[in-house]
Amino acid sequence: MAPNPRVISAFSAMKALGISEYVVKPVLKQLLKVYDKNWELIEEENYRALADAVFDYLETNAVVQKRTSNNSYEEEEEEEAQLNDEPERPLKRTRKSQVGHGTSSVGNSDTVANVSALRTIDSENGGPSGNSSSQHTGKKGAPALNVTSHGDELQSVRSVKVSAHTKNQSVSLTLLAERERNITSHPVVENGAQMYANAIKGIQENPNSSPYFKEKGKKTVSQAPVKERNPMRARPSQALRLKEPKVEPGITSSPNANANMPKALALIQPKEEPFVDCATNFASSKVPSPTASRHPDSPSMMDALHDSGSAQKNGELRTPESPCHDGKNNQPNCPTNSVQRPVSGLADAPKVSSVDLESASSPLGEVRISLSCTLLNQTDFHMPSVDAVLKLAEEKNVKTYDINTNFSVKRVIRDVCDLFLELGCKPVESPESNVMHNPSSMKDLSNAKCDNVNSGFVPSQSTGTVNFKVAAPEVHITPPCMGAVNDHKLPADNGLVNSGEETDKAAEINGRGTDSGNNMAMVVADEFTSIYHADVTDGEEGMEISLINEINNVRPPSFKYMPYNVVFENARLDISLARIGNKDCCKACFGDCLASKIPCECASQLDGSFAYTLDGLLKEDFLEESNSIHRNPQKHLQFCSKNCPLLRSGSDELPVICNGHLARKFIKECWKKCGCHKMCGNRIVQRGITYNLQVFMTPDGRGWGLRTLEDLPKGAFVCEYVGEILTLKELRNRYTCNVNSDAYPVLLDAIWGFDKNLKDDRTLCLDGTIYGNIARFINHRCSDSNLIDIPVEVESPDHHYYHIALFTRRKVNASEELTWDYGIDFGRKFNAIKAFQCQCGSKYCRDMKHSIV
Ligand SMILES: C[S@@+](CC[C@H](N)C(=O)[O-])C[C@H]1O[C@@H](n2cnc3c(N)ncnc32)[C@H](O)[C@@H]1O
């Protein structure tokens, strides 16, 4: 449909005032309603009414946001109702007065909620729940901080840039916030800040001057402020639907070479050995010794393919699951601060003589806030590690503040600033301490010649400046991935790849050059030593996750980074708020459900308790129970006999009867239909990755691995296993045709043993091979892995689809490799996928007695 020329003219007129179309659009819509589509009234006096309404809206919006911003979901409902001419909607106050919970009280709010839900899904994810399309548009933002700017709700801070100038004794911190691109309103006035301010002032002085308020006694825009999308948007939890994986040019779909697929399947006899978490002996250089405890055999992910449920006759294993993250950044209900002007509060930092905070924005939705603080008579400042500062700031905030009620972005910023100064003024200790130091690779990086990479993270001694965030490289990790694993498969006799020669050989074997074919922006330093990429997530996560290869020339595999699951063609995945009944959500809640004395509906699956602690960690008893299921799978199996999807999908090598599927212990998180705040403590996995992780090349031939760069407490959410949501049938087709492919499938089979009429399109699994996240780099460790997979229900209440969240089973030390027990039964071999020869190094390794061909 051709755009209405009157609309275009209205936009142009407003643009001349420096007001963006994003702002004008919703207001215009409302105005047309108010004026019964009488354009003349709007166009009169060169759009005077519209201009007034816009300014009103901006002003009101600023006030509203300042005042609340607590429960944006409710606001969305209100807005939605307005747009739909709902006479009355569940008012925030009403809801709030219903302290606690309640299943249903909200009367007729269902309709409204559903409507708004749909809208929310649509806009928030840049993609619908059910449609197919490929909008990966949405940059998600697992917000670390939220700041308000320009009277507008803050968008999530996607990155932090910190720089210090020792020479001038100043430290500057730049928070780079990025607005969601899809946001409907964009209150940033492009060039007319002053004009806007004057206009607002005029309206304040003479409110009646606006015809907008006079006409017809109808609803005014200000009654229903059009709200911007909630900035604190957790990561989109629903899946995108893709028609088919897009494989970018230059990439082959699956290296044939040494495919090491999990083959495994299967059945493992749970061992009775005691466990002791052996420290990972391979992580890269300094791996602290693990101390934890843990146990042996269990099932794993790849099982799936092979026998997913795989089990065995007696004992069995299982498949892994979901995601999640920790809640250590739990922010309270609401951030507010308008961080626009010099924040005087910051000045009380003892060592700081002055603090400046400036903000700038672009019409594209980028907001940059720059904070600089100058030291007072401090001559011995040195640049501390950014990581150390942020880590300390985080710890400090979690410990110091009542995170639920008192959180203040301003204070966080001040703390970060203070800590910079504090750490920077301490004498330099060991290289491991808090002073920024780099692995050899970092040094190399500084000399690296790489034209197209603005590699930050390289401290430059000469200037004393550190750019924490590297200018985003135009990197596209392209599809078919599977590769990397093979690349490192070296001859079993040595396993270690550490010379250029060997590397080249490996690359040759795999038909790949060591230095071509991939346009990843990364730094290659020296000849064989460091390949470094500042952010393998391509900006898709709230955290940057670097990749480093100090071992050989193998480049990262080609795959498309996705922070959330995507639906492949035929899988049936119904995600809609309409499917979430009152018993599946806590509509009457507000704020933080964990803080409420009365457990809400979302806690009912766990007998009225939540799986998380107030610190955002998995509760001890929940973790222990889940560990126990992994240790003794045979006690938790549910059988689906002949109707087992695995049997139906056919394979000569599969057992004739179902070996059982684990009855998993689920976490149920609050979600969009719930009344609580997005930062509610029962929304951990949705918020995405919050720890500082790194993809690295293992030195012992297991290919890439994932490690943590900071200590992780026990029960911390690390990441979700993300991939394409496939039906089992699709999975089999995919890998039966390509037996040699590497694949990383995980069955979503928790319901299989219970649903006797399971249709093929509902037998789902996740495959992170082509579309996936950093979890695809996590290597397997038999039994005493430091991560455990927990199924998490977020947007789909029936357990056919759920998320797989990986939590720490014990405290994990910085630089330790993160591992997960895939649940592979190395004693079995199935046709579709080849198992690898396990080199986990665990004393419980299940592959020691088997020789895999
Ligand atoms: C999910 S991927 C893990 C990331 C992989 N290392 C890479 O380079 O992409 C699984 C593959 O990693 C390798 N792998 C994982 N754990 C291993 C282990 N304990 N021993 C040997 N190879 C392992 C196998 O090739 C397996 O097929």
Q: How far is the CA of 617 from the centre of ligand 1 (A)?
A: 27
Q: In the structure, what pLDDT confidence band is assigned to residue 737 with cuts at 50, 70 and 90?
A: low
pLDDT in tens, 581-618: 878 889 889 899 998 888 898 988 788 889 999 999 99
The minimum-distance atom of ligand 1 relative to the CA of 698 is 6
278-282, 447-451, 643-647, 765-769: least confidently modelled range: 447-451
Closest CA to 301 of 731, 656, 762, 701: 731
Decide: 833 in ligand 1 pocket, CB within 6 A: no
pLDDT (tens digit, 9 = 90+) per residue, 163-208?
Answer: 444 433 434 343 333 323 332 233 333 333 343 344 334 434 443 4
- Amino acid 61: pLDDT: 66
Domain count, the chain: 2
Instruction: Examine residue 672 and state whether it is found in any structural domain, yes or no.
Output: yes
- In the chain, the amino acid numbered 481 is C
User: pLDDT tens digit string along 243-289?
Assistant: 444 433 333 333 333 333 333 222 222 333 333 333 333 333 333 33
What's the pLDDT tens digit per position in 32-68? 888 888 888 888 888 888 888 888 777 766 544 444 4
502 in a structural domain:
no
> Which of 108-122, 343-357, 601-615 has the largest mean confidence?
601-615
Q: Which atom of ligand 1 is nearest to the CA of 488?
A: 8
Question: Does 174 fall in a domain?
Answer: no
Rounded mean pLDDT of the chain? Answer: 60
**pLDDT of 558 strictly over 70:** yes
Structural contact between residues 92 and 251, judged by C-beta atoms closer than 8 angstroms:
no
Ligand 1 centroid – CA 311 distance (Å):
21
The pLDDT of residue 464 = 27
Most confident of 144-153, 377-386, 423-432: 377-386
- Taking CA atoms, 758 is separated from 572, 641, 725, in Å, by 12, 12, 16
**What's the average model confidence in pLDDT over 94-112?**
31
Query: Is a pLDDT exceeding 60 seen at residue 500?
Result: no
Which of 779, 822, 846 should be mutated for ligand 1, with most atoms under 8 A from CB?
779
What are the backbone angles phi and psi of residue 311, rounded to the nearest 5°? -150, -160
Q: What is the pLDDT of residue 437?
A: 30
Calculate mean pLDDT across residues 497-506: 31
With 90 as the cut, is the pLDDT of residue 88 above it?
no
Q: Is the pLDDT at 741 greater than 50, yes or no?
A: yes
Cα dist from 618 to 18, 226, 778, whole Å: 49, 37, 20
What CATH number is given to the structural domain containing 622?
2.170.270.10
Q: Ligand 1 within 6 A of 695 CB?
A: no
Does residue 813 sit within a domain? yes
Summarize pLDDT for 199-252 with one digit per residue, the tens: 334 434 443 433 333 333 333 233 333 333 333 344 555 455 554 444 333 333
Contact 306/119 with Cβ under 8 angstroms? no
pLDDT tens across 674-683, in order? 999 999 999 9
DSSP string of 264-276?
A: -----PPP-----
Residue 552 lies in a domain: yes
Q: Give the pTM.
A: 0.49
Give the pLDDT score at 396. Answer: 74
CB of 704 sitting under 6 A from ligand 1: yes
For ligand 1, the distance from its centroid to the CA atom of residue 706, given in whole angstroms, is: 11
CATH number at residue 22: 1.10.8
> What does each C-alpha distance from 25 to 29, 189, 690 come to in angstroms?
6, 14, 35
404: Cα separation from own chain's centroid:
22
Q: Is the pLDDT of residue 722 over 60?
A: yes
pLDDT given at position 530? 79
Domain that holds residue 17: 5-65
Burial class (CB in 10 A: 0-12, 13-18, 19+), 450: middle
- For residue 714, pLDDT beyond 80: yes
Interval 789-823: pLDDT, tens: 999 999 888 888 999 999 999 999 999 999 999 88
Looking at residue 173, the DSSP 8-state letter turns out to be E
**Complete DSSP assignment for 487-543:** HH---TTT----SHHHHHHHHHHTT--SS-S-----EEETTTTEEEES-TTTT-SSS
Is 93 a member of any domain?
no
Structural domain contains residue 623: yes
Q: What mean pLDDT is predicted for residues 332-355?
A: 37
pLDDT tens digits, residue range 355-402? 566 666 555 555 555 666 565 555 566 777 777 777 777 777 766 665
> What pLDDT shows up at residue 463?
25
Take residue 780 and report the two structure tokens written for it: 């397997």
Of 552, 555, 780, which is best to mutate to test ligand 1, by the most ligand atoms within 8 angstroms of its C-beta? 780
Considering 65, 81, 111, which residue would you say is the last residue of a domain? Answer: 65
pLDDT of the residue at 205: 44
Q: Decide if 282 is inside a domain.
A: no
Say yes or no to pLDDT of 455 above 60.
Answer: no
Beta carbons within 10 angstroms of residue 42's beta carbon = 23
Distances (CA, A) of 133 to 262, 542, 552, 677, 761: 30, 23, 38, 29, 19
* Secondary structure element (H or E) that encloses residue 112, with its range: helix 109-125
Whole-angstrom distance, CA of residue 656 vs CA of residue 654 = 6
What are the φ and ψ backbone dihedral angles of 842, each rounded to 5 degrees? Answer: -75, 150
Task: With cut-offs at 50, 70 and 90, classify the pLDDT of residue 773.
Answer: very high
- Listing DSSP states for 55-101 in one string gives HHHHHHHHHHHHH--S-HHHHHHHHHHHHTT-S----HHHHHHS-S-
pLDDT at residue 536 is higher than 70: yes
pLDDT tens digits for range 301-315? 444 344 433 333 333
CA angle (660, 661, 662) in 5-degree steps: 125
Listed residues 65, 84, 100: the one ending a domain: 65
Residue appearing with tokens 């308020």:
213
The rounded Å distance from CA 486 to ligand 1 centre is 9
